[in-house]
């Protein structure tokens, strides 16, 4: 798995790809939680290239959402592939996390300007 970060205004976009599994989860946890510790409050996780997630990866999303809530931060997860979205639904995360079909929708939800 590769993790690439980019800043769009005050939104921190984190792009992840391939497999978010038990072997990859610690690296993702360190990066994502590290960004929140460093003060990022608008975090967009772009999953357009993510093919697979297991419970170790899901746990990282839950940890990040739990960390952001008390500091009034927001995480939006965008572009989940149907098979990955099914897993998010199965585990009940679509009820407690913000999911966006596209990156542009997510950026708009953060109040960022999006070039059309």
Q: In this structure, how many other beta carbons lie within 10 angstroms of the beta carbon of residue 15?
A: 19
How far apart are the C-alpha atoms of 68 and 63, rounded to whole Å? 9
How far apart are the C-alpha atoms of 60 and 20, rounded to whole Å? 10
- The token pair at 66 is 């739990």
* 62 or 109: CB nearest other proteins: 62
Among 4, 55, 108, 111, binds other proteins (CB under 8 A): 55
How far apart are the C-alpha atoms of 86 and 109, rounded to whole Å? 23
* 35 or 97: CB nearest other proteins: 97
* 36 or 103: CB nearest other proteins: 36
Residue 66 in contact with other proteins, rule: CB under 8 A: yes
Among 3, 33, 35, 62, binds other proteins (CB under 8 A): 62
Among 3, 41, 49, 54, binds other proteins (CB under 8 A): 54
């Amino acid at each position: 798995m590769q993790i690439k970060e980019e800043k769009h205004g005050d939104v921190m976009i984190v792009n992840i790809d391939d497999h978010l599994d038990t072997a990859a989860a610690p690296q993702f946890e360190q990066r994502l939680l590290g960004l929140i510790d460093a003060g990022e409050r608008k975090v967009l996780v772009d999953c357009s290239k993510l093919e697979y997630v297991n419970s170790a990866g899901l746990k990282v999303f839950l940890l990040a959402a739990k960390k952001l809530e008390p500091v009034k931060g927001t995480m939006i997860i965008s572009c989940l592939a149907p098979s990955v979205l099914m897993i998010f639904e199965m585990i009940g995360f679509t009820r407690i996390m913000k999911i966006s079909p596209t990156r542009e929708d997510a950026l708009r939800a953060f109040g960022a300007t999006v070039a059309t």
